[in-house]
Chains A and B, each alone.
Chain A
Amino acid sequence: MANEAPTPAHTASSSTAERKRIFVRGPWEMAASILIGLGVIMLMQPLSITLYSYSFVTILVGTVGYIIVSHFPE
């Protein structure tokens, strides 16, 4: 999984395709991270039990999304 930052080998041979790849993956990973964060807040907030009920789905979507997104270009 591309959780590791690009290795020197990658950056050294940064073809246009690879530059594009980094460009694409970044925002998606960010979006998934935000979704996970949102889900965690929903899970533990004291305001609404409805938000709490939907927290797990949010976290699940975020986490599964994260795993998929981090494989994006390959």
Chain B
Amino acid sequence: MSNNNITKDTPGLRGLSDKSLAWLFITPTIILLLAINIFPLIWTIYLSFTDYRSNQPGREIEWVGLENYRDVLTSPDVWGYMQTTASFVISTMLIQVAIGFALAMFINKNFKGNSLLTTIILIPMMLSPAVVGTFWTYLYQPQTGVFSYIIDFFADVGPLDMIGSVDLAPWAIVIVDTWMWTPYIMLLCLAGLRSIPEYLYEAAEIDRANALQKFWYITLPRILPFLMLAVLFRGIENFKMFDMVVSLTSGGPGSITELASINLKREAFENWKTGYSSAFATILFVTVFGLGSIYVKALNKVKS
């Protein structure tokens, strides 16, 4: 790359050469990531071929081949948790895109005070998901919670047991996730809107395009990459969702809101099926990694 022309013109005048400096700067990070991320990952993959149980450290580890993978991938239960995860991801994404997109359009009208309001709207996504889940359990209390009270007040449906009811619990987690993360979708839509150069609209004006045409041919195509980026990122995050849902419903009632990560944690740290859950973890990881590669590609496209 042409980046380096300068460095060749001015060879290390004093002290370290560029090459050793580059390695000195980069290696610590790489070593740390190897030790804390990659090594554990390889270990997980190794364990996924064994019947290891971490609550019985003395026991001899037996190699079981692909048995754990077969167990995970033929289990109707795990299949069910995957579907639960899918409905969570799909419903949160649909709702958040609809609201976030609309909000971005409104905020882009540049009315007085929109900067302050935008800041307020951004607050939830900076907060700790686990703590957010905890305090929403309070708002969701059937009799005394303010959420149920307000819904009952306007819709007269009686006390709502958002967390305890089989029908409502999936919505309970979708609502909290929407409250937290709609601003993220909004933010990226806003970035897309603001990246549209003014002259496109000017040209459209000259061509006497109506508002709908302007939206369809100028606004939408320009926002779409940003929207895709947002959905891909949030989709991946919600695919591995753990903290907020654990502290809100911990998978219940029954296993209605048992997302894949929550079940994984249960198998690994409550049932201590380390080998089995390592296989499960590997499956989740490969999925996230695959989607992540697509995300990085999209991110670089949008950035450039």
Q: Do A and B bind each other?
A: yes
Binding site for B on A (CB under 8 A): 3-5, 7, 9, 29, 33, 36-37, 39-40, 43-46, 49, 52-53, 55-56, 59-60, 62-63, 66-67, 70
| A residues in contact with B290, CB < 8 Å | 36, 39-40, 59, 62-63, 66
Stretch in B21-29, B78-86, B195-203 touching the partner: B78-86
Contact A63 B293 (CB under 8 A): yes
**Which DSSP category, helix, strand, loop or mixed, fits chain B's interface?**
helix
Q: Could you give, for residues 64-75 of chain B, a 1 whenever the CB lies within 8 Å of some chain A CB and a 0 otherwise? A: 000001000110
A-B CB pair tally, cutoff 8 Å: 66
Contact A3 B296 (CB under 8 A): yes
**Which DSSP category, helix, strand, loop or mixed, fits chain A's interface?**
helix
Bound form: Cα–Cα A63–B85 in Å: 21
Task: Give the distance to chain B from A17, nearest Cβ to Cβ, in Å.
Answer: 16
Confirm or deny: B2 has a beta carbon within 8 angstroms of a beta carbon on chain A. Answer: yes
Task: Give the distance to chain A from B261, nearest Cβ to Cβ, in Å.
Answer: 14
Confirm or deny: B304 has a beta carbon within 8 angstroms of a beta carbon on chain A. Answer: yes
Which one, A3, A36, A56, contacts B300 given CB within 8 A? A3
| B residues in contact with A60, CB < 8 Å | 286
Confirm or deny: B139 has a beta carbon within 8 angstroms of a beta carbon on chain A. Answer: no
Question: Assuming A5-B303, A44-B82, A66-B290, what are 10 further A-B pairs, CB within 8 angstroms?
Answer: A3-B296, A33-B294, A36-B291, A44-B89, A46-B86, A49-B74, A49-B76, A52-B79, A63-B293, A67-B293
| Known contacts A3-B293, A40-B291, A53-B74; A59 and B286 CB within 8 A of each other | yes
Confirm or deny: B215 has a beta carbon within 8 angstroms of a beta carbon on chain A. Answer: no
Name A48's closest neighbour in chain B (CB-CB). B79
Confirm or deny: B32 has a beta carbon within 8 angstroms of a beta carbon on chain A. Answer: no
Confirm or deny: B109 has a beta carbon within 8 angstroms of a beta carbon on chain A. Answer: no
Contact A44 B74 (CB under 8 A): no
Task: Give the distance to chain A from B26, nearest Cβ to Cβ, in Å.
Answer: 16
Most buried by A among B69, B73, B283: B73
| A residues in contact with B293, CB < 8 Å | 3, 33, 36, 63, 66-67, 70
Name A44's closest neighbour in chain B (CB-CB). B86
| B residues in contact with A59, CB < 8 Å | 286-287, 290
Confirm or deny: B301 has a beta carbon within 8 angstroms of a beta carbon on chain A. Answer: yes
Can you spell out 7 A-B residue pairs with CB atoms less than 8 angstroms apart? A3-B300, A9-B3, A46-B86, A55-B73, A56-B286, A63-B293, A66-B290
Task: Give the distance to chain B from A47, nearest Cβ to Cβ, in Å.
Answer: 10
| B residues in contact with A63, CB < 8 Å | 286, 289-290, 293
| A residues in contact with B296, CB < 8 Å | 3
Bound form: Cα–Cα A56–B294 in Å: 17
